[in-house]
Amino acid sequence: MFNSVQILGMALLGGLAAGELARRGLRLPRTTGYVVFGLLVGQSGLGWIAPYDIESNQLFIDLALGLILFELGHQVPPVAASEGLSRLRAGVLISLTTGSAIVLAILALDFSASSAVFAAALCLATSPAITIATCGDVGARGDKTDLLFTMVAINGCVAFVTATWSMPFLVEDAAISNLAGVWTATRGLAAAVVLGGSCSGLVLIGARLLGRRPEHQHLLILGSILLSVGTAIHLEISVLLPMLLFGCLTRALDRKQQVVAIRIARDARIFLVVTFVLAGAVLDVGVLMGHWLEALVLVIARAAGQVAGVLWNRHCLRLNTESAVYLSLGLQPMSSVALVLLANVQTLYAGLEPRLTGALLATILLMQLFGPLATQTAIKGFGEATRLPSLDPAVDQPAAKRSSCGADR
C-alpha cells in the first residue's frame, strides 16, 4: 500500500502528533504515544504497515538500534574501580535474581527448561530506548539516573550473553551438537567484544584528530555504527553486544572528554520516533488477548525479581529503601530488542514453542505500553526530573530556561 519512504514519513509525522498528544493531553511519556500510533496503523489496526514493510526498512532499524545501544553505553558514568566493581556485582546479582524468578514462572506455566532460560534472557533486558527517551523527555539529571543507566546496561549485557548461549539448547539434538553450538556462540561473543573495542578505538582516534566539532564527530560516530552493524551482520553475530560495548568503552576511555557523542533524544529523535512506531506496528493486540494470562504471570514474576534483587543489593548501590524501589520501577520497561532476538530464534530454530512465542510477544506489548510510565514515575521519585509533563506547554520546559525568561522580564 505504501512504499518505504512514505512509511517512514507517516511514522515520523503520526508518531510526533501522537507523542505530543500523550505528553500534553494525558501527561504520559511521548513514547507511549509513539507505540499506540504504531498499533493503530499496524497489523492490530488499519494495516497500513505490514511485517514485510518492517523488513524493507531494516537498514534504518539497524542504524537506530545501533545508535540507541551506543548511547546507552555512553550514558554509563565512569566511576572509581571499587565503585565500578560494586555496581557490576550488584547488577549481575539483580539480573540473576530476576532471571531466576522468570525461569520459575515459565516452568510453572509448563514450558521446557531450555525454553525457560531463553525466555528469561529475553524478558530480563530493560528497554534502552524507553529509558533514553523518557529520561530525555523529563530532563533526568543526577546520580540515581546515572545509576539507572548503569543497571540497564549491565542487565542488557547479561541478557544478550545468556540468550546467545542458550540458543543452541533450543534444538532437541545430541549433546555434542549443543556443545558445538555453545562454542560457536562463545566465539561470536568474543568477536562482538573485539568489534566493539575496535569501533571505540576508531572513534577516540578520530575525535582527537577532528577536535570537538559536533557536525564532524557525529558523522564519525554514525559511520562507525554503520560499519560495526554491517560487520556484525557479515560475521553473523549479534549487533547488540558490540554496540553497547562501543558506547561504554568510548565513555570510559575518553578521559579528556574529546568525543561529542550523539544524543538520540536531542540530536536524532527521528530514529526514536520511527523505531517505536514500527515496534508498535509489528505487535499484535490479538496475541495479548490470547496469551494475557501467561503475559501477566511473566510481568509479575519479572517485577518481583527486580524488586527483590534491588532491595537485596541496595547497600552496595548506596540506596535507601525508597530509592531502591524506584530503581526497580525504572527497570520495568522490557526491551524491544527482544523482538530482534526472538525473530532470530524463530528463523534459526523452528522448534521454539508457539505458545511461548505468543506469551513473549504479549509481554513485550504490555511493557511497551506501560514501561515508559514506570520509568517516568521512577525519575520523578528520584527527584531528578527537570521537565515534568504538563497540560500547559509553557510549563513543559527546562527550569533553567523558565528562570532566564523570568529574569528577562
Residues 6+ apart with CB under 8 A from 200: 245, 246, 249, 250, 253
> Would you mind telling me the total number of residues written for the chain in this entry?
409
Determine the pLDDT at residue 278.
85
Region of 257 (left: φ > 0; alpha: ψ -120 to 50; beta: rest) is: left
CATH number of the structural domain spanning residue 158: 1.20.1530
Read off the C-alpha cell for 21: 498528544
DSSP E strand stretches across 75-215: none
Q: SS3 of 262, please?
A: coil
**337/156 Cα distance (integer angstroms):** 10
DSSP-derived letter for residue 308 is H
Determine the pLDDT at residue 171.
61
Determine the pLDDT at residue 409.
35
Region of 139 (left: φ > 0; alpha: ψ -120 to 50; beta: rest) is: left
Determine the pLDDT at residue 186.
84
What are the residue ranges in the chain where pLDDT is below 70? Answer: 1, 170-179, 181, 336-352, 388-409
C-alpha angle with apex 237: 171 to 125, nearest 5 degrees?
Answer: 75
Instruction: Tell me, yes or no, whether 402 lies in a domain.
Output: no
Instruction: Tell me, yes or no, whether 47 lies in a domain.
Output: no
Nearest to 101 by CA among 292, 298, 370, 295: 298
pLDDT tens column, 241-278 = 888 899 999 998 988 888 888 887 777 788 888 888 88
Instruction: Tell me, yes or no, whether 20 lies in a domain.
Output: no
Instruction: Tell me, yes or no, whether 369 lies in a domain.
Output: yes
User: 186-199 burial by CB neighbour count: b if 16+ within 10 A, else e?
Assistant: eebbebbeebbbbb
Q: How many domains does the chain have?
A: 1
Determine the pLDDT at residue 391.
47
Instruction: Tell me, yes or no, whether 31 lies in a domain.
Output: no
pLDDT tens column, 42-64 = 888 888 887 777 777 777 777 88
Instruction: Tell me, yes or no, whether 212 lies in a domain.
Output: yes
SS3 content of the chain, % helix, strand, coil (to 5): 75, 0, 25
Q: Model pTM?
A: 0.86
CB count within 10 Å of CB 302 equals 24
Instruction: Tell me, yes or no, whether 277 lies in a domain.
Output: no
Residues 6+ apart with CB under 8 A from 171: 177, 178, 181, 349, 351
Q: Do residues 327 and 256 lie in contact, with contact meaning Cβ atoms separated by under 8 Å?
A: no
DSSP-derived letter for residue 78 is P
Which residue range(s) make up the domain with 257? Answer: 53-267+292-382
Instruction: Tell me, yes or no, whether 70 lies in a domain.
Output: yes
**288/70 Cα distance (integer angstroms):** 31
Read off the C-alpha cell for 187: 566465539
